[in-house]
Structure 1
Amino acid sequence: MASLNREELLQRIDRVIDKMKNLSPEEIVETCPIGIISMDNWEWPQGVGLFSLFLYYRETGEEAVLAYLEDWFDRRLQEGVPPLNVNTICPLLTLTYLNELRPKESYRGLLERGAAFVMKEMPRTEEGGLQHIVSGGLNEGQLWDDTLYMTVLFLTRYGVLTNDPACVDESVRQFLVHLKYLTDPATGLFFHGWTFQEGHHFAKALWGRGNAWYTAGLVDYLDMIEPPPGVSLFLCGSLERQAKALRPLQAPSGRWHTLLDDPSSYEETSATAAFAYGLLKAIRCGYLSRDFEPMAWRAFHGVLDQIDPDGTVRGVSYGTGMGRTLQAYKDIPLCPMPYGQSMALLMLVEGLKHDLAEVRL
């Protein structure tokens, strides 16, 4: 494995960002009607991309990045924001940060509307879980592991900004309810979903990217709030158990399979990047011990190997709904996607915070 170099990481970051901004559904077959390839749409892939860009801005102070974010939101607001649901809430996380730096009445109004929707209108499952309602699907009685990243992070951040303890308390409940029903007690990994109506975990898929939403999301969640100590211990304990389970499942390439426990399923880059980001940040922040560093840096290198010279991140699975069979996950096509670019960006930016000269594999 090649040694890491800060200047090279910065160059790769520039290429990854440029490709993310310019992905086109004309290059890639777009089969999802909501539009999850172009950054010109308002959905969850774009939301993940915006947040990664903001974290890059916060690390480097590059004003051009902030200007891009402001222009993106202004254009989308002129076009009209689509109906709110779990996934269309996702861009609002970045808007909470942008509104602090470039406050606008239109931003504030949308943030208020988003928080009110989550707290008062979004459908709930039993025990008050956020039902995974998406564009074109109610998913009645269903919990999905995507929800914590797509909606709960925004609600948390909004609650902190507005000093609204109800929002913060609700975020704690959502983490606990989702972990209660999605954790596989045998492994400590997470099932993709749970249905209260049918009482099962669908295909019992230990889906890679779904697991990575927790790894990447938790470290940012703990950046936003300090939950009660007992809750923090519980959440970090779940992260540690997940990390221990990931260790023997890591492929020689450093990547993980799209079905974590099925080596016949393809290796998937977006999940690997989010795992690398979450693990490295958790180690840096003291949530995990340095025993996990070799695994995290192997994943880091595994993702680097999938970044083309033009910044295209390869080996990323297309949008993945809830699978009723394990084969359904293995059949999802691979193609460049905004969230593949952005998860790689999250990982690369986190890499800048570490002493690269001390990396040992």
Structure 2
Amino acid sequence: MITLTYAHLEQTIRRVVEQMKHMRGSLEETAPIGIISMENWEWPQGVGLFALYGHYRETGDPALLNFLTDWFDARIREGLPAKNVNTMCPMLTLAYLAEETGRPDYRELCREWLDYALQDMPRTQEGGIQHEVSGSANEGQLWDDTLYMTVLFVAKMGVLLNDESCMQESVRQFLVHLKYLTDPATGLFFHGWTFLEGGHHFARALWARGNSWYTAGLVDYLDMAEQADGVRLFLLSSLRRQADKLLELQSPEGAWHTLLDETDSYLETSATAAFAYGMLKACRRGYLDANHRDAALRALNYVLSQIDEEGIVQGVSYGTGMGRSLREYRDIPVCPMPYGQSMALLLLVEAVKHGAEAEYPNAGRTEGERTDG
């Protein structure tokens, strides 16, 4: 056991942030819009921007605010891509920046994209947001990614505009997605559901990162605005059931496999970081218990072991489409990604709030130096 100090955490945070800002492609991409380089506008960049904004809110560092506004200004000048679930993701941070800076151009753009989300975005049966992405309509499909990529933005805009209809729409989306994606046997979430072909869960994949979008996203959603008590209790009960099952499935190393219940699938860092972030914040808010905090701190150990000396988060799976077989998930390549950086950043910043001098077994050690697992 070693002591992870505040200074150690802060140094690691700085390295992770710098690598996220300047991330470039490290493999030949298959996504229609590049999802590695931070110079593109897609969901991985959106996730990264949201983490950077959260770090700015904690530190007040004007350089971070300048980076964010410069990033949006550059992308807007270049011209934005077609609107869909995934390209909506950067708008969450822009909504916060519109509030922070008071810029009317940011606010107007947010209204434009919100109108699309509410009025024109394709829907499935029961009004769920169809997971249309760049290059694929995914007709009739619900994916667990959608809640993080689009629904958080809708909720934030409800607060920004004082528009209760936005909040109610966000509630509906959470409830519809949980209805069709929850595995009643485990409390975990399937990657997707289709209303077509007789209705099914594709490969029935309990995919780690998809599950972690709920764990990490819900704790921030609950902070954005008040929900009716019944809704809040329902969402938290889903979180607790998921978290309880995650305790059972956590590996000896402190991580989770990319297929949560398939130990022959690889350990995946971005999901591990997102689970740990969500559980740590949920414990701080009083939603989860000490045993969840202990599991999250073990996961923090693992994530720290995957951050190299330059601040690059290793062990992150590339963008993952809907798989028709579990083999497709096992074969997703691994490479540094903006969301790997961002989930690690969220976790590290949250860890600071849990006590800078807390002892975390094996923190910062290499695999050969570990004292357990």
Q: Within the alignment, does 1:269 sit opposite 2:269 as a pair? A: yes
Query: What residue is the counterpart of 1:48 in the other structure?
Result: 47
Deviation at 1:358, TM superposition (A): 4.2
Quote the residue 2:348 is aligned against. 348
SS in 2 for 1:350: helix
Aligned to 1:19: 19
SS of the residue corresponding to residue 347 of structure 2 reads helix
Secondary structure of 1:194's counterpart equals strand
Amino acid at match of 1:217: G
CA distance in 2, matches of 1:341, 1:226: 29
Aligned letter for 1:186?
Answer: A
CA distance in 2, matches of 1:108, 1:358: 41
Note the C-alpha offset of 1:106. 2.0
Separation (CA, whole Å) in 1 of partners of 2:170 and 2:359: 35
- 3-state SS of 1:143 partner: strand
- 3-state SS, counterpart of residue 299 of structure 1: helix
2: CA distance between counterparts of 1:275 and 1:167? Answer: 27
- Does the aligned pair in 2 maintain the 1:279–1:296 contact within 8 Å? yes
Aligned to 2:63: 64
Q: Determine the structure 2 residue equivalent to 1:310.
A: 310
The answer (yes or no) to whether the contact 1:187–1:245 under 8 Å persists in 2 is yes
For the residue of structure 2 that corresponds to 1:267, the secondary structure is coil
Q: Distance in 1 between matches of 2:209 and 2:297?
A: 18
* 1:251 to 2:264 alignment: no
In the alignment, the residues of structure 1 paired with residue 86 and residue 29 of structure 2 have an alpha-carbon distance, to the nearest angstrom, of 18
Aligned-partner residue type, residue 192 of structure 1:
H
Of 14-23 and 274-283, more deviation after overlay is shown by 14-23
Counterpart position of 1:165: 164
Asked if the contact 1:256/1:268 (under 8 Å) is kept, the reply is: yes
For 2:47 and 2:263, locate their aligned partners in 1 and report how far apart those are by CA, in whole Å: 27
8 Å contact 2:32–2:134 — kept in the other structure?
A: no
- Offset at 1:33? 2.6
SS at match of 1:82: coil
Distance 2:258 2:120 in 1: 33
* 1:242 aligned onto 2:235: no
C-alpha displacement of 1:102: 1.7
Q: Distance in 2 between matches of 1:242 and 1:302?
A: 20
Alignment-derived partner of residue 156 in structure 1: 155
Unaligned runs of 5+ in 1: none
Q: Structure 2: how far apart are the matches of 1:359 and 1:228?
A: 38
Distance 1:132 1:344 in 2: 26
Q: Are 1:294 and 1:360, in contact at CA under 8 Å, matched by a contact in 2? A: no
Runs of 4+ more than 6 Å apart: none
Find the residue that maps to 2:2 and give its secondary structure. Answer: coil
Report the secondary structure of 2:297's partner residue: helix
- Matched with 1:227 is 227
* Residues 197-208 of structure 1: pairs in structure 2 closer than 5 A: 197-198=196-197, 199-208=199-208
Tell me how far apart the structure 2 counterparts of residues 315 and 192 of structure 1 sit (CA, whole Å): 20
- Could you say which residue in structure 2 is the equivalent of 1:102? 101
Q: Report if aligned partners of 1:297, 1:359 keep a CA contact under 8 Å in 2.
A: no
CA contact (8 A) 2:32 2:135 kept: no
CA distance in 2: counterparts of 1:360 and 1:29, whole angstroms: 37
Show CA shifts across 1:32-63 (max 9, x none).
23100110000000000000000000111111
SS at match of 2:3: coil
Tell me what 2:114 maps to: 115
The answer to whether the 8 Å contact 1:182/1:192 transfers is yes
SS in 2 for 1:257: coil
CA contact (8 A) 1:36 1:43 kept: yes
**How big is each residue's C-alpha offset from its partner over 1:326-356, in whole Å with a ceiling of 9 and x where there is no partner?**
0000000000001101110111111111113
2:187 aligns with 188
Q: Aligned residue for 2:285?
A: 285
In the alignment, residue 181 of structure 1 is paired with which amino acid? Y
Q: CA deviation at 1:360?
A: 6.6
TM-score of the superposed pair, with normalisation by structure 1: 0.98
* Helix, strand or coil at the partner of 1:256: coil
Preserved contact between residue 13 and residue 345 of structure 1 (Cα < 8 Å) = yes
For residue 239 of structure 1, give the secondary structure of its aligned residue in structure 2: helix
Contact 1:208 1:258 in 2 (8 A): yes
Q: Unaligned stretches of 5+ in structure 2?
A: 362-373
Aligned pair count reads 360
Amino acid at match of 2:193: W
Q: What is the deviation of 1:2?
A: 3.0
C-alpha displacement of 1:103: 2.4
Tell me the C-alpha RMSD between the 2 structures. Answer: 1.0
Q: 1:171 to 1:359 in 2, by over 3 A?
A: farther
Q: 1:108 deviation in Å?
A: 1.4
